[in-house]
Amino acid sequence: MDQILIIDDDVALCELVAEYLEPLGFAIEAVHQGNAGVERALSGGHSLVVLDVMLPGLNGFEVLRQIRAQSQIPVLMLTARGDDIDRIVGLEIGADDYLPKPFNPRELAARISAILRRAQPDKHQGESRTILVGDVEIDSGARVVRRGGQVVDLTSVEYDLLERLMRSAGRIVTREELSKDVLGRNASPYDRSIDMHISNLRKKLAPGVGSVECIKTVRGVGYIYAQTDRD
């Protein structure tokens, strides 16, 4: 059973979410303050965190920063509807996805399920397979990424983006394809999620001396994972 941690000071909302999610097979724990949320998120006992931006004291962004400093546990942020800045900042810090308030519990459940599917190794895949393009290597069974032999810590979304792009190395992958294949939803005109995740991925894959940027932007279309002369 997947353990879901909700960090939100709205007690009634937490209770309603628990009432909806528990019959679907999720175990729910709710905490209502940022510091306690960080401690519980880092305890290792949860599969995913649902984190509200608007928290008293330690706000959601700082909670996420502290979690990301030590853990890649999937985090779904709850943001104010129409507040694009909150969404962008959350994604920059390392949120896996966001959902504007107020939300439909069915949509929350769908987002949680999609994130958890991404975060777990493919049980039907069998033996691990290696994808190697240039000096970046993916162990698809263990979901481990290395560049130049060094492990790169990625969130579940970042990993899936990288794998999708590397499997299509040398070919353009549109934003619409990435949104559908990685986030599990159709892209909307003003959704910056894919762009922000790509930006974070580029930072983590920062090229060393003599290396080149792996992921190229095709303006107005999408992205391409550049093949090198060694491929």
Residues 14 and 101: their CA atoms lie apart, in Å, by 13
Residue 75 bridge partners (DSSP): 49
Per DSSP, helices labelled H in the chain are 11-21, 34-41, 60-68, 84-93, 105-119, 156-167, 175-178, 193-204
Structure tokens at 14: 């937490």
Specify the pTM.
0.82
Distance of CA 122 to the CA centre of its chain: 17
Q: Are 1 and 25 spatial neighbours (Cβ–Cβ below 8 Å)?
A: yes
Residues 22 and 45: their CA atoms lie apart, in Å, by 17
Lowest mean pLDDT among 24-28, 31-35, 168-172, 225-229: 225-229
Q: What is the pLDDT of residue 121?
A: 61
Tens of pLDDT, residue by residue over 55-92, are 988 999 999 999 999 999 999 999 987 678 888 899 99
Residues 219 and 230: their CA atoms lie apart, in Å, by 26
Q: What is the pLDDT of residue 122?
A: 56
According to the 3-state scheme, what is the secondary structure of 104-134?
CHHHHHHHHHHHHHHHCCCCCCCCCCEEEEC
CB atoms within 10 A of CB 34: 23
Tens of pLDDT, residue by residue over 108-163, are 999 999 899 877 765 545 455 889 998 899 998 888 999 988 999 999 999 999 99
Buried b (16+ CB within 10 A) or exposed e, 152-181: bebbbbbbbbbbbbbeebeeebebebbbee
Tell me phi and psi for residue 26, to 5 degrees: -100, 145
Containing 137, the helix (H) or strand (E) segment is strand 136-139
In the predicted structure, residue 204 carries a pLDDT above the cut 50: yes
Lowest mean pLDDT among 201-205, 206-210, 218-222: 206-210
Mean pLDDT of the chain: 89
Residues 136 and 152: their CA atoms lie apart, in Å, by 10
